[in-house]
Chain A
Amino acid sequence: MPTTMRINGEAFQSSSAPNSRLLDVLRNECDLKGTKEGCGEGECGACAVLVNGKLVNSCLVPLGQMEQAEITTVEGLPEDSTLARAFVQCGATQCGICTPGMMLAATALLAEHANPTLEEIRWGLSGNLCRCTGYGRIYAAIAQAAGGSADV
């Protein structure tokens, strides 16, 4: 039985097996290559997407659970936003492989805490590994996007 969901606001139906990874459906069926595979076991967050507004690792999500789900990938985020601008300006991206997941983690964080404290930012990103930045410039970007100081 096909699985019906909404991906980045558009209806999508997949006939893949229910135990297919959401990650593979997004990358191979929808050609949404912004969702990355870093570890395949839910540790790194490179494949993070929003499912019904919640941050999840798509490599751990079976397609069968996605019936009627609302899924947002990095391609579904606004092209220009205060968050995106802050990420560029503050140096929050280096190699970029974790960045889509980070953008979604930051989006989920800001949805929950419009003005997050540094501690909330740190815990909000703790499921997304970045090996390049040491996270400092990412904190700065999120703080700036929330209207705070970039001097983190």
Chain B
Amino acid sequence: MSLTLVKQRTDHQKASPRRVDGVAKIRGTALYVDDLPCADVLHGATVRTTEAGGTLQEVVFDPAIDWSEFVVVTARDIPGMNAVKLLENDQVVLVDRAFRHAGEAVVLLAHADPEKLGMALKGVSLVELPNTAPIFDIDAALAAQHEIIPGNIYTDYLLDRGDVAEGEHLADVIIEERFLTPSQEQLYIEPQGMLAHLQEDGGILVEGSMQCPYYVLDALVQCMGMDKDHLRVVQSTTGGAFGGKEDYPSMIACHAALLALKAGGRSVKLVYERGEDLRVTPKRHPSRTLIRLGANKAGELQFIDMDFAIDGGAYRTLSPVVLSRGVIHAPGPYKCPHIRVRGRAVATNHPPFGAFRGFGAPQSIFAMEVAMDRLAKKLAMDPAELRRINLLRTGDLSPTGDVVGADCFAHAALDAALEHTHYYQRLAEYRAWNAAGYQTRKGIGLATFAHGAGFTGNGELHLASRVSLQALANGHVEILCSNTEMGQGAATTLVQIAADALGLPMDRVHLAQADTSRVPNSGPTVASRTCMVVGDLIQKAAGQLLQRLRETAELAASYDAQSFAAACTRLCAAAGDTLVTAQYQPPADMRWDEQAFLGRAYASYAWAAYIAEVEVDLLTLVTRVLDFTAVQEIGDAVHPVIVQGQIEGGVAQGIGYALHEDVLWNERGVMANDRLTNYIIPTSADLGFMHVVLLEGGLGAGPKGAKGVGELPMDGPAPAIVNAIQRALDIDIRQIPVRPEMLLELTMSGGH
């Protein structure tokens, strides 16, 4: 595919209307959960297990405290099922007896005075019989005699295409490596929280910070033993999420609702302080990858053999889905006849790991991309050249065995990235710099990858998302969907898509608040699916609405906002149906075999080539990313400024993952560096230049050919940076984050 078929966007300001939520956020008037007005509110707090699994023997309440002043909730107060609804009902809402990790909720307390509440928390002691052999490591879990669950394996997947043994015969050069990636904290700046109100009909309303209102609703239905009509979930302005507010809000909502049920009509607010949020909410899965790659002398990949394992923590939660995305993305955007990827999610006594931007893909892509550089080194070939030889083209078989269609821009992305960075020129400059013997070493490294948008495989089919548009008498249109704005710009993007499809100015279209009593279930706000999948449904609903207005309200073939409004007025006056709903239909050629991991895993892949240029100080061994170039083909940039912000923000998180961020664990498997003082994310002073290049091939499954972009930028930075450091220092790196201590060890031991 030649570059000329891809549009390269240069002016991001053009076609980027103002964010619909911009003014309120800039003036500080947007209300987050902790800001919601609520008279006479009680504050909630949580007593948690301290041992890494075991049995709860007794809960002792300090007799010196007058407990009648407090709302006290234990497992016995749960009217419904004591399980957080997700893939499997294995995680309890409140510990009754058996538990699997430190930090599980046992007792909930509420009081009007936060100070008294804090003292009361110390007045509840738990008698725990600890698990004597807790497991905190992936390989230890696989080898352990002690079983948390049978075999300590939640899920065991195998992508097996071709014959690796055959590939070994054909390979002239083989490399073998073992890579580790750490957990990573989402670190949304707004901690998690919920506010629950008992309603007059005995039902419960929960408001709070969340990605997926219908996940929360389903969890409340199960835990509260109430039907949906008595439960209502409303998203408040959400201060960042990145996956971290996908599943855990269900837990907090159940806790807040249980307290509200016993609070005699007073509302209960349960907002975590930062330390609690860091210690108990889910983070990125740590991973361990054993990888072997083989190529012939020409550099053509002959086989990819990976054993990819992630630490799922103490409960299954989202691990099977994280694993499946990790397995599918593991072999990268390369053609290779023989591929085997075994993926396992294992059980440990860590708090459960969960969703974080990229969802398993950053871990496996890290291993693959650093291994590609190792292979290039062994072949004495430039890493860019090795990729050029192997990147997929239209007509090739993808790693999951489907024929790659016209929507493949892997080469275009690589070409653009090499051109933008003057890659070969930089390479020579950095070689000369390093040979000159200065105080620093410089390197340039790359990663090429693709990221699939939307739920994996048949996931979108199972979700069967629905979106509605409501025409109002004044000619305005309301979008009703359950997808949430959490900073990523969904509110603006979805309004823009609707306005565009309806031929109306944006100020005539409004996104309804994500309130389960009003909006249909359009699926969770995850998996880079909102713009592409939900945006497409909005576009379809808009078509239906226009058709209805033409057929029943005399909307002319050509119209403006005024005549559109007149038609809406007529439709309302005639008591016509002003609501249209579109439901997801899978693309005709979508075939996915969930058992064999074969077929088309995603409706669209976005294609990317990321290049990092780094400088390492030889005295301090501190690495600085001088320049970062992110080139991605994303179909169509609906709102280029928002897309640019998504890419830059994702790259910054990726730079943190590569260089700074490391979750450290105490002896009970709890995050030890549970403060912003010692969990380090990049500040403005830490980040260098970023260049975002958007390529638009126009062939994605979303509106005007758009593809999902949310997760994509998390995949590439870590391997690109590591590959750059390896070249700067001529060392082999097998683990992130690359901190000075690690570089010291590596350089002292010869570096390989």
Binding site for B on A (CB under 8 A): 32-41, 43-44, 46, 73-75, 77, 79, 84, 87-91, 93-100, 103, 121-123, 125-139, 150
Contacts and interface: CB of A to CB of B under 8 A. Distances in A.
Contact of B690 (A79, A100, A134, A138): A134
15 contacts: A34-B28, A41-B274, A41-B677, A84-B26, A88-B19, A88-B22, A93-B21, A93-B25, A96-B237, A96-B239, A99-B25, A134-B649, A134-B687, A137-B641, A139-B684
5 closest Cβ contacts across the A-B interface? A34-B28, A95-B487, A96-B25, A97-B239, A134-B652
Interface string B466-491: 00000000000000000000111100
A37 B19 CA distance: 24
Interface residues of B, number: 55
B242 A97 contact: no
Residue of A32, A136, A137, A139 with highest tally of chain B CB at under 10 A: A136
Nearest to A104: B28
A36 B34 CA distance: 9
B32 interface: yes
Contacts of B676: 38-39, 41, 43-44, 129
B60 interface: no
Given A36-B190, A91-B16, A95-B190, A134 B28 contact: no
Contacts of B558: none
B648 A38 contact: no
B132 to A, nearest CB: 35
A9 B32 CA distance: 26
B28 A35 contact: yes
Contacts of A139: 684
Contacts of B685: 122-123, 126
Contact of B648 (A36, A100, A128, A134): A134
B362 to A, nearest CB: 16
A132 B487 contact: yes
Given A41-B675, A129-B683, A135-B684, A94 B487 contact: yes
Interface string B610-650: 00000000000000000000000000000001101100111
Contact of B21 (A43, A77, A96): A96
Q: SS class of chain A's interface: helix, strand, loop or mixed?
A: loop
Contacts of A39: 274, 675-676
B29 interface: yes
B31 A94 contact: no
Interface in B675-696: 675-677, 681, 683-685, 687, 690
Interface string B649-665: 11111000000000000
Given A84-B26, A126-B683, A150 B486 contact: no
Q: SS class of chain B's interface: helix, strand, loop or mixed?
A: loop
B64 interface: no
A129 B644 contact: no
A36 B273 CA distance: 12
B687 A135 contact: yes
A37 B649 contact: no
Contact of A132 (B22, B274, B641, B645): B645
B588 interface: no
B485 to A, nearest CB: 8
A39 B737 CA distance: 23
B487 A96 contact: yes
Contacts, number: 164
Contacts of A33: 28, 31, 34-35
Contacts of A122: 684-685, 687
Interface string B152-176: 0000000000000000000000000
Contacts of B22: 87-88, 93
A58 B189 CA distance: 16
Given A75-B28, A125-B684, 14 more contacts: A38-B190, A38-B274, A41-B675, A46-B189, A87-B26, A88-B18, A97-B188, A97-B240, A100-B28, A103-B28, A125-B683, A131-B186, A134-B651, A138-B684
A131 B684 contact: no
Given A129-B676, A134-B649, A38 B191 contact: yes
A121 B241 CA distance: 26
B27 A74 contact: yes
A127 B677 CA distance: 12
Contacts of B34: 33, 36-37
Contacts of A40: 273-274
Contacts of A99: 25-26, 28
B187 interface: yes
Contact of B29 (A34, A46, A125, A150): A34
Residue of A44, A84, A97 with highest tally of chain B CB at under 10 A: A97
A38 B27 CA distance: 18
B238 interface: yes
A125 B22 CA distance: 20
B649 A44 contact: no
A97 B675 contact: no
A79 B27 contact: yes
A129 B681 CA distance: 8
B642 A91 contact: yes
Nearest to B641: A91
A94 B677 CA distance: 24
Contacts of B641: 90-91, 137
Contacts of A38: 189-191, 274, 676
A131 B189 contact: yes
A74 B25 CA distance: 10
A93 B31 contact: no
Contact of B187 (A73, A131, A135, A137): A131
A97 B190 CA distance: 6
Interface in B179-193: 186-191
A93 B19 contact: yes
A114 to B, nearest CB: 19
A60 to B, nearest CB: 12
Interface in B547-599: none
Nearest to B489: A94
Interface in B21-78: 21-32, 34-35
B425 interface: no
B517 interface: no
A111 B446 CA distance: 41
Contacts of A84: 23, 26-27
A131 to B, nearest CB: 5
Residue of B19, B191, B273 with highest tally of chain A CB at under 10 A: B19
